Amino acid sequence: MSLNPPIRHWSGQRVWIVGASSGIGAALARALLVRGARVAASARSADRLATLGATLALPLDVRDADALAAAAGEVRASLGGLDLVIYCAGTYAAQRATAFDLRAALAHDDVNYRGALHVLAAALPLLLAQGSGHVSLVSSVAGWRGLPQALAYGPTKAALINLAETLYLDLSDRGIGVSVVNPGFVDTPLTAQNRFAMPALLTPDEAAAAMIRGWERGRFDIHFPRRFTLALRLLRYLPDRAYFAAVRRLTGM
């Protein structure tokens, strides 16, 4: 059973992707443009945005709430409204408690979580006024439970999952869909720094296709590749002692 109104067609859909300059966000912008959507694309790199051929390019930094508010105004003026806003911006650097870096941890919070709040502050008034639309937050399976090397990254993704769940409870009866995207490993500039084997690694195009299928089916939790994420879901529900032992055995950490 669908938890959200399925998006049954893309032609003419007004989509704002925040974090569209590379990786999943760029692949998603290209895929939706091919399907006929009208795409507003935002990221820090104006040069990279220019290569997408988006309907509207809006360079900005997600840490700048005023810039996001202004961009939302441009989306409304240029596209006439908003059907789907996707928060895809993110940063990642491996970190463990034995080498705790406060500055890096706070930088993850600024981009991965607070940036999403800035987007919500900009987009929610428009969606609520319309009484329609959809908010999608790109989190990660790293937010499901604690993992080694994810001290800075994992908590911000867990926060996005909780945020999406709360948004769903608040907005679903107002005609606004909410989803959270929890990818496994995707070959992006962020994951390129990993020095360990990444099982079931997907391309950004494959990730974008999985996200689109999820929205078309009205899913709330869009996770992929399912051959990998379903196994992680089982780990998620283990008792703490068994979970910690399993993670240590699987990762060697």
Which residues have CB under 8 Å from 221's CB, separation 6+? 179, 180, 182
Residue 40's DSSP bridge partners are 16, 56
Let me know: does 105 contact 159? Beta carbons within 8 Å: no
Let me know: does 67 contact 61? Beta carbons within 8 Å: yes
Return the sign of the alpha-carbon dihedral for residues 226, 227, 228, 231.
positive
Q: Which of 153, 168, 237, 243 is catalytic?
A: 153
Catalytic status, residue 243: no
Around 34, how many Cα atoms within 13 Å sit in the side-chain half-sphere?
Answer: 10
Smallest Cα–Cα separation from 82: which of 90, 93, 71?
Answer: 71
Catalytically active residues, by annotation:
153
